[in-house]
């Protein structure tokens, strides 16, 4: 049996040291970890928890590739996630302070309502067009996934995963990919209008 077909072990598979379950591939390990991190950021009320989970994993993988020794991948990732959450809170405070300062700044002319309305209308039109380009299943998945807000959304998303006969992590991953396609489409649409 050659090295490519042999079962993974700590000597031939460096990822097995991270505590993945028996037979779990590194992809499955990271998908599971991404779902846990997404839940971590969701529970803290972050606007885009999937994006923060991805940022966390990018930093973790970068550190590992740079030679940082990690004996507990999940624990290490949560440590990085806590730092990213602190950065997120600081950024949000800075944004809010800037917005507040601009509201009351003397001598600044407010954006005309017509211009703002036109920008919103363009965005809305692009979003409509891009949603229409998705297949029926993709549109349903995105709309249903974000339909419920607050604490009830976790139970709703779990129910969605059960109805689709997939794991919660797989559901999150599908929505993430759809959302990325939608963002790219809207961005391109706005640039071309």
Beta carbons within 10 angstroms of residue 173's beta carbon: 17
Residue 94 pLDDT grade (very low, low, confident, very high; cuts 50, 70, 90): confident
**What is the pTM (predicted TM-score) of this model?**
0.47
Crossing angle for the helix pair 26-43 and 152-164, nearest 10 degrees? 150
What's the start-to-end Cα distance of the chain, in Å? 59
Q: What pLDDT is attached to residue 114? A: 61
pLDDT over 70, % of the chain:
79
Q: Report whether pLDDT(4) > 50.
A: no
Which domains are assigned to the chain?
14-101 (no CATH), 111-191 (1.10.10)
Tokens of 130: 């891009």
User: What is the pLDDT at residue 113?
Assistant: 58
Residue 172 confidence class, pLDDT cut points 50, 70, 90: confident
pLDDT tens sequence across 106-130: 444 555 556 777 888 888 898 899 8
């Amino acid at each position: 049996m050659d090295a490519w077909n042999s079962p993974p072990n700590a000597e031939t598979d460096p990822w097995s040291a991270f505590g993945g379950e028996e037979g779990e591939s590194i992809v499955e390990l990271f998908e599971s970890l991404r779902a846990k991190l997404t839940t971590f950021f969701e529970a803290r009320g972050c606007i885009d928890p999937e994006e923060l989970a991805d940022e966390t994993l990018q930093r973790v993988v970068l550190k590992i590739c740079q030679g940082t020794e990690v004996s507990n991948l999940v624990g290490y990732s949560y440590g990085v996630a806590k730092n990213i959450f602190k950065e997120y809170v600081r950024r949000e405070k800075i944004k809010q302070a800037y917005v507040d300062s601009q509201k009351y700044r003397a001598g600044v002319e407010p954006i005309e309502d017509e211009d703002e309305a036109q920008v919103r209308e363009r965005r809305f039109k692009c979003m409509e067009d891009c949603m229409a380009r998705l297949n029926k299943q993709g549109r349903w998945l995105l709309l249903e996934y974000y339909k419920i807000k607050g604490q009830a959304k976790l139970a709703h998303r779990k129910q969605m995963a059960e109805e689709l006969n997939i794991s919660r992590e797989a559901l999150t991953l599908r929505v993430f990919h759809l959302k990325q396609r939608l963002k790219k489409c809207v961005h391109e649409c706005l640039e071309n209008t």
